[in-house]
Structure formats: C-alpha cells, structure tokens
Chain A
C-alpha cells in the first residue's frame, strides 16, 4: 500500500522540552520513512517516553515541529492525531480495566467509526463494532478471551490487547512504547513475530529496551542520550558506532552478561 516516495511519514525537527530546568528533549530531529520500523533506544532517562508523549500529543513541546504524513501536527490534540492515523500504545498498560476485553477493542473501533453522539442503540449489539473487534482479537491471539474482564488478563495478554486497540483505527503509523516490557521470553518472541508481520503494512516507531528485539526488527535505529540524538543508522552502523558503545551498548552488554 505504501508507495515509495521521498517524503518521510514522520518528521521531527528541533524538538525541545524541559521540565523545571531538566532537559528531557534537546533539539531532537528525526525522521521515519513510510513503511520503516524505526527503533529509538537509549539508557534510562534518555527521554524516550517523553518523546513518544510529544509525538502522540499527550505533552506539548516547548519548541520544534512535528509533521505526520505531510500535516503539521505540532499543536494538535491527541484525538486529532489519532484520527489522522497516528496510533500509540502505552508503556504502562493502559486499558479499560472494568470493561470486557472485547469492549476494549470495540471502543477503539468505535473511536474511528464517526461521532459517538448515538444515544439509543445498544452498542454491544452492533455488528459494525463487535465484528472488527473480534477480528482484531483473533489477530493478536486473544479471541478466546473476548468476554473476560480486561483486568483478569495476564500482563502478556494486556500487551497483546494494547496492540489490538492500537490497530483498531487502521492507523498508518504506530508509536509503540516498550511493547515487550515485563514479558517472559516466550511472550516476547510472540510479540516480535507479531511486529514483524505488522511492519510490512505500517510505519512503526518502536521504543524498546529489549536489544535482541530491536536488532531483530529495526530497519533503522536512533540512539538518545539525555534527550539528544547521538547516532542514527542501520543496526550494523549502530553496533559499530564507538560513541554508542560507550554511552549505551556497553552497559547493555554488561547487563546481558549478567543475565546470561
């Protein structure tokens, strides 16, 4: 679907954000090509989640610009960005815990099915909402648990549900904030497979700590340290980059050695 053109799907130009003197995002520029899976990595506190929050509209930057699919979205509220096709998943699972699993996805479908000033018909009996909802659950492997309350799902299943909800609006681009966080090795592997399947259809910006997953999936990687981009390139470039090794990968490898 995504025809090759030179215009990036997402363009970030000189983005800056401070919190009471602490620089969270420091003149950050970045672009993500259509159809690309672009990973953003960096040590804790590098400003990855703050970046996602500004891209999704949860936080407004102090300065800088963000373009998405040719639109300047710098000042748009969250719901408008979502309507343009920019969907986001959350690092800390953020669901409607007191609604059923299917209700959760059906709400996400409803968000993209016109306005919701419809006061009378039973929304749980509308096939236009329920059927796409069930299809999405099947896609992420949750079909059998459709009627469970969302709060009863395991952590791994929550992440799958998150993904189903992000996909509900048939977005052009996904912002994924640590989709593997807290997953066991088996669940992680399944999530990597799911993302691999998705990356052909959509543009993805992936913030992730799991280096194995990042290097397996990413077309390009951007490394953040203290809110600043210190390197952008292919996985091979990043692996070879001395500055990155010093700032980040060394630490990660040491961690990996501990675990291994």
Chain B
C-alpha cells in the first residue's frame, strides 16, 4: 500500500539521521546546550517507546510507567552512593529491579480492566514514589546526587557528553528495533489481538494473561534502562522523576507521536520536549510587541497552548504525528 519512499519514511529517516549528526553540529560550533537537551529527549523517548509497547500495541493503559524511571534511576544512584560504580553491576540491577517491580504490579493489575487497571498501576507507582521519598539515607524528598557516572571498560566513558549521547542513542535505536520485531512476531500478534478483543483471544485458545504479563515486564525493564540513563545524565535522582505527572508526560508522548508505530513515541518525545523548551520563548517573542509584559508572564503557562494542541491530535489525528505523516503521503499520491 505504501512504498518505501513516502513522506512518513523520509521524515523518519531524516529524524534518525539528524539525531546521529547532532553532535557533529555541536562540535562545529553549535549550541552545546542542544547536546544536553537532546540527550534528555532521547532518554525520555526510550521510556516512551517502552510504554508504547504496552499502551499502543497492547492496549494496557498503564498510568504508572514513570515508576520504572525512578527504580532504574535509584538503582544507579543508591549503588553509586554505596560505592558500587561499575555499570556492569548498576545496570543489571536497574533492569532486574524494574523487571521484578513490573512482574508484581503486572501480576495484580492485569487481572483487572479499564479504569481499575489505570488506578492500580497509578496506585503502585505512587506507592513506590512515597517509599523512595521516605528513604532518608538516599536523600528522601531532596533526591540524591550522583558523583560519578556508571563505569564501564576502558574506551567507554559516560562522563564524556558526546560518548554518553551516542550510548543513549544506540540504546534508543536498539529498543525501537526490538519493539518493532516484538510486535510483529507471534508474541506481538497475541498482544495486538488482545488489545483488539481479549475475550475472543481467550475463546480461540490463548491464555492472554501470561502473554500480557511478559509484555508488561519487557516494557518495565526497558523503561528501567531509561531510568539508569536518566540518572547518569542528570548526575542526580529525585523522587520527582517517578511522580505521576511524569507518567502522564510519557502517555502524552506516546499519544502525540502515534500509538500504532514503533518510532511514533520518538516523534512524540521530540515534539513534546521541544515544545516544553521553546514554546515559552516563542510566546514571549511573538506576544511581547502585542501584549507587553503580559506575554512574558503568559509564557510560563505554555501548557495553555500545548493542551489544545494535544486535544486536536486526539480528536483529528488518532495516529498522532506518525499517522499524520502517513496521511500526507496518501494525499500527495491521490
């Protein structure tokens, strides 16, 4: 139906290539801040990609996905605090703890549906948030500074910003590929069938619960990886990274980018975080000549513009950015 050369594929390849080339632009004298900003975008995109596996493909509306960011992040932070700096220990612990948490939450929440599922995932994530906030040894509410980033063998040095950027980017691309393979495999067909009509899946002979549980654990583990990266990126972890509004941000990225696509959440993360970063400036820039100081104050409330935009996407572009790009192709052809 759609050939390889269409608007959507070109836009996807362009974005993937631009992200690879970004450090070159920075080296050539571009804004160094861009490297920091995009490292963050890439890490949160990885979290959104993992959420999309259960939300977009599996129809599991988890409202507690940021919990894994926190668990992955705190695994790195706590171990660093205790003097364990090796990434070969920190990262597997981050992934393992996230997987275990996902297994427990999933085992309980996947027995429910709809609003109950949303509420249980939210409740567990908030519980984890309060537990972490209460750990005085690890900074409690104030968070925990990480003085040294995870250590790997000789040439890899995560304190080097460019190297760290590429590590994050490679892990993001690997995750997108992994999700893409997963959702098209037999396993993925079960997950997608269950999103479409779970009762029918059971009637034709699939024990859907165990497949959804495995999917839930894979998504949690992948998000734990994003958490480990995020802790290294900011050299700091606080309970804030697992607060429920953060879970909301991840959902927005997925919906904005496109739920039925493996790369969609990357589009969504880029769009949302660039809006967050630059919309206040734009409001100030455009508004000041017209409204004076009021525009400056209004710029703090950039969500006033973000909100309606998201509404438009949900109402008129169900496939998100990825869906819009695919439609553009169809319009161009016809």
Q: Are B200 and A121 in contact (CB under 8 A)?
A: no
Q: Are B186 and A95 in contact (CB under 8 A)?
A: no
Chain B residues within an 8 Å CB radius of A82:
202-205
* Docked complex Cα distance between A58 and B189 (Å): 22
Q: Are B188 and A123 in contact (CB under 8 A)?
A: yes
Q: Are B202 and A119 in contact (CB under 8 A)?
A: no
Chain B residues within an 8 Å CB radius of A168:
204
Q: Are B182 and A119 in contact (CB under 8 A)?
A: yes
The DSSP consensus for interface residues of chain A is loop
Q: Are A88 and B187 in contact (CB under 8 A)?
A: no
Q: Are B205 and A79 in contact (CB under 8 A)?
A: yes
Q: Are A116 and B189 in contact (CB under 8 A)?
A: yes
> In residues 212-261 of chain B, which contact A (Cβ within 8 Å)?
214
Q: Are A122 and B202 in contact (CB under 8 A)?
A: no
> In residues 85-126 of chain A, which contact B (Cβ within 8 Å)?
87-88, 90, 94-99, 103, 106-108, 110-112, 116-124, 126
Please report the number of residue pairs spanning A and B whose Cβ atoms sit closer than 8 angstroms.
Answer: 93
* Given A79-B202, A83-B205, A111-B204, A116 and B184 contact (CB-CB distance below 8 Å): no
Q: Which partner residue on chain A sits nearest B206 by CB separation?
A: A111
Q: Are B205 and A95 in contact (CB under 8 A)?
A: no
> In residues 167-187 of chain A, which contact B (Cβ within 8 Å)?
168-169
Chain B residues within an 8 Å CB radius of A111:
201, 204-206
- Which range holds the interface residue count of chain B? 20 to 34
**Stretch of B136-144, B191-199, B275-283 lying at the A interface:** B191-199
Q: Are A99 and B193 in contact (CB under 8 A)?
A: yes
Number of interface residues of A (CB under 8 A): 37
Q: Which partner residue on chain A sits nearest B1 by CB separation?
A: A147
Shortest Cβ gap from A7 to chain B (Å)? 24
Q: Which of B190, B197, B204, B207 has a CB less than 8 Å from the CB of A169?
A: B204
Mask: chain A, 140-158; 1 = CB below 8 Å from B; 0 = not = 0000000000000000000
* Given A88-B203, A116-B211, A107 and B185 contact (CB-CB distance below 8 Å): no
Chain A residues within an 8 Å CB radius of B197:
94-97
Chain B residues within an 8 Å CB radius of A90:
200, 203
The DSSP consensus for interface residues of chain B is helix
Chain B residues within an 8 Å CB radius of A98:
196
Shortest Cβ gap from B180 to chain A (Å)? 10
Q: Does A77 contact B (CB under 8 A)?
A: yes
Q: Does B181 contact A (CB under 8 A)?
A: yes
* Docked complex Cα distance between A94 and B189 (Å): 17
Q: Are A119 and B193 in contact (CB under 8 A)?
A: no
* Given A96-B193, A110-B186, A117 and B214 contact (CB-CB distance below 8 Å): yes
Interface residues of B (CB under 8 A from A): 181-182, 184-190, 192-193, 196-197, 199-208, 211, 214
10 A-B interface contacts by CB (under 8 A): A79-B206, A90-B203, A94-B197, A94-B203, A107-B189, A107-B190, A110-B190, A116-B189, A165-B204, A169-B205
Query: What 7 pairs across the A-B complex have the smallest Cβ distances?
Result: A82-B205, A111-B205, A96-B196, A118-B186, A116-B186, A78-B202, A111-B204
Q: In the complex, given contacts A94-B199, A96-B200, what are 9 additional A-B residue pairs having Cβ atoms less than 8 angstroms apart?
A: A78-B205, A79-B202, A94-B200, A94-B203, A95-B197, A96-B193, A110-B189, A119-B181, A169-B205
